[in-house]
Amino acid sequence: MYPSGFYIDPDLSQYPYFEIKELIRDLGKVGFIIFTLHPGKTITRARCDGNLKTVSDLSYKPQQYNKQCQRASTPMQTMFYGCIVPEEQNIIDTRFISACESSSLIRGGVGSSGQQTITFGKWEVIENIHLLVVIHKDSFCNADNSLLEELKSAYDVFLMKHPDFANDIDISAKYFAKEFSKKNEEGADYNYLISAIFTEVVTTDHALDGVMYPSVQAGGQLGFNVAITPNAVDKKMKLLVAYETQIKKTGKEVHIGGKSKKGTILQNSSISYKDIIE
């Protein structure tokens, strides 16, 4: 069953968790692409903090501290947030994307200036990770990288197999892509209720490892964000290296670099840092 049109529109400020969850479950089968991250794929995770001592410091937020909704996580289920880029794109780009997503200083606009410590974790996929892709076909219009081209191809093949559902697929994809692209300028976590609960349903009811969606802060064409369950992180990923550095911002100008440290991952899951001489 595919929806002929729908809108989930309760008063989000009342945190109608169960109402939204049932509405999403009632959609039945909806046309989304499933994308697999294969072993060897790199995921970058960033935290705007320094002196991070252990692997867990660069992983998902511990559940006991997970008190609010984020874009792809509810208080009931914490998630690992990171970013990926197409294979031909420089992995350094993931630092920019993850910094834009993580740094309040960068998001502060042209009126903000200052300095902030940020730590990047380079994670490697060691077992296939299956993600539901939340993207609308309009994102394919100017596809200029291999990842968007692959998603476009998969989308076209899917529509060829299910031409009668093309309109319904378009409606559902457009709706959820809009929810995942929200910029929460009010700082109210309930603005993320729909995308967060949608992710919870995808991972708990359908046993997927998480979701994947265009980077909101860095622009949809540059790279993708991923939100991955703790179970998948623990079993299917490993932290290779950490990198602590500085964000310096003056108006529109943002520089990432300067005084930096490289963190080596030790057998006891602690991180040992050494200064990088530039």
Q: Is the pLDDT of residue 118 over 80?
A: yes
- Runs of H (alpha helix) within 103-145: 104-107
Q: Is the pLDDT of residue 184 over 70?
A: no
The mean pLDDT value of the chain amounts to: 86
**56-63 contacts, C-beta under 8 A, 24 or more apart:** 56/269, 57/271, 58/119, 58/121, 58/239, 58/242, 58/271, 59/121, 59/230, 59/233, 59/239, 60/228, 60/230, 60/233, 63/230
Q: How far apart are CA 72 and CA 81, in angstroms?
A: 9
Q: Which two tokens stand for residue 228?
A: 């991955």
Q: How far apart are CA 62 and CA 19, in angstroms?
A: 26
Task: Give the strand pairing for 260-265 and 253-256.
Answer: unpaired
Predicted pLDDT of residue 238: 97
Predicted pLDDT of residue 140: 65
Q: How far apart are CA 23 and CA 105, in angstroms?
A: 37
Which range has the worst mean pLDDT, 46-50, 95-99, 177-181, 241-245? Answer: 95-99
Count of CB atoms within 10 A of residue 53's CB?
Answer: 14
Q: How far apart are CA 232 and CA 212, in angstroms?
A: 14
CA angle centred on 45, ends 106 and 178, rounded to 5°: 65
Q: Which residues contact 23 (CB under 8 A, 6 or more apart)?
A: 6, 8
pLDDT band at 61 (very low <50, low <70, confident <90, very high): very high
Rg for the chain (alpha carbons), in Å?
A: 19
Q: Is the pLDDT of residue 56 over 80?
A: yes
Predicted pLDDT of residue 185: 63
Work out the burial of residue 48: count CB atoms within 10 Å of its CB; fewer than 13 is exposed, 13-18 middle, 19 or more buried.
middle
pLDDT in tens, 213-270: 988 765 555 688 999 999 999 999 999 999 999 999 988 888 898 889 999 999 999 9
* Residue, of 61 and 160, whose pLDDT is higher: 61
Count of CB atoms within 10 A of residue 106's CB?
Answer: 21
pLDDT in tens, 122-172: 999 999 999 999 987 777 666 667 787 788 788 888 888 878 777 878 888
Give the position of tokens 């009126």.
111
Count of CB atoms within 10 A of residue 152's CB?
Answer: 17
Share of the chain above pLDDT 70, in %: 90
Roughly what angle, to the nearest 10 degrees, separates helices 17-25 and 193-205?
A: 50
Predicted pLDDT of residue 278: 58
* Buried residues in 56-84 as b, exposed as e (16+ CB within 10 A): ebbbbbeeeebeebbbbbbeebbbbbbbb
Contact between residue 228 and residue 209 where contact means Cβ atoms under 8 Å apart: yes
Count of CB atoms within 10 A of residue 104's CB?
Answer: 10
Q: What is the mean pLDDT of residues 175-195?
A: 85
E strand or H helix that includes residue 153: helix 146-161
pLDDT band at 13 (very low <50, low <70, confident <90, very high): confident
